Amino acid sequence: MAFPVQRPRRLRRTPILRQMVRENSVSPSDLIAPLFVCEGQGVQTPISSLPGQFRLSVDRAVEMARELWEVGVLSVILFGIPDYKDEIGSGAYNENGPVPRAIEAIKHALPDMIVLADTCACEYTSHGHCGLLKNSEVDNDATLKLLNQAALCYARAGADVIAPSDMMDGRVASIRAALDGEGFSHVPIMSYAAKFAGAFYGPFREAADSTPAFGDRRSYQMDIANRREALREMALDVEEGADFLLIKPGLFCLDLVRDARERFECPICVYNVSSEYAMIKAAGQMGWIDEARLIDETLLSFKRAGADLIITYHALEWAQKAKSS
């Protein structure tokens, strides 16, 4: 039976009626805030391509974590901005590096906050690639050892979740075995399972100073044209023991978020990446869009697609507004 009996507009007539039939909502606890942690003390350097985001020294990262916590954002994901980089990315597992020190400091100040450690080599290698090089190619299996060391270093510092973002084959199984071998069987892995190569991460790379010195990431990150391959990557990571699946970049991959939601039972996380944030901020600064509403609509779209969790640079601003309204 269709029109005139069926009239979907009946349920849209008043604000309360619309609220009653609203299928999805965003809560501050769905959001994970990325923090860029650098060396030094009292450092809070703005990142020009990510207005409102900063490179923070450990002490400032703790303050930022506290601000997030106070508005209900209960988790952060940390990225390191080390002073020192080398060919082999040894800074990724330096226990005195900014990330392990920030993990310790945040867990000390806010023991219940969930601290995720992004685990990758690109912020620590002089060549900017996500792994170790052999004849100018990224050597998969050699990189697994580095990732294991990095994951252990963050777990020892108290990280609640290890989040490998490198796209090496077999890294989930490898990190799982390394963690289990040192008594960290309780530490979950959030795998960046389907992560695509492209221009999506430009502002992040400016922030993290991690643009590859030569070539690009297409031999390890996926081709944006591929959907079946993304499902294969996710299935492999689940088999290897991933506890969460992460899909990235978010707005460009809503189809995959839905696929993942329907195919897997584990929590699904989506990464609202740096270029998505920068586009909204830039258009907002130009006065071309209603920024606050677009942020709401972006986050809701992730939830509608099926995401449980959203890594987003909008976390603090959105949660502050949500709290005051």
**Binding span for ligand PBG by CB under 6 A among 37-45, 133-141, 201-209, 279-287:** 201-209
CB-based contacts of 278, cutoff 8 Å, min separation 6: 49, 50, 51, 202, 203
DSSP letter at 30 equals: G
Q: Say which of 85, 248, 281, 303 is annotated catalytic.
A: 248
Enumerate the β-bridge partners of residue 31.
310
Residue 273 touching ligand PBG (CB under 6 A)? yes
Whose structure tokens read 């450092």? 43
Binds ligand PBG by CB under 6 A, chosen from 58, 62, 105, 120: 120
- The least distance separating ligand PBG from the CB of residue 163, rounded to whole angstroms, comes to 8
DSSP letter at 92 equals: G
204-233 positions binding ligand PBG, by CB under 6 A:
204-205
Q: Say which of 195, 281, 303, 321 is annotated catalytic.
A: 195
Distances (CA, A) of 67 to 34, 72, 136, 292: 13, 9, 43, 19
Binds ligand PBG by CB under 6 A, chosen from 65, 71, 122, 194: 122
The continuous run of DSSP H or E covering 118 comes out as strand 114-119
DSSP letter at 47 equals: P
**Binding span for ligand PBG by CB under 6 A among 180-188, 200-208, 227-235, 251-259:** 200-208
157-176 positions binding ligand PBG, by CB under 6 A:
165
Residue 41, CB-side half-sphere exposure with 13 Å CA sphere: 0
3-state secondary structure of 93: helix
**Binding span for ligand PBG by CB under 6 A among 41-49, 199-207, 222-230, 239-247:** 199-207
- The least distance separating ligand PBG from the CB of residue 167, rounded to whole angstroms, comes to 8
Residue ranges in contact with ligand PBG by CB under 6 A: 118, 120, 122, 130, 165, 200-201, 204-205, 273-274
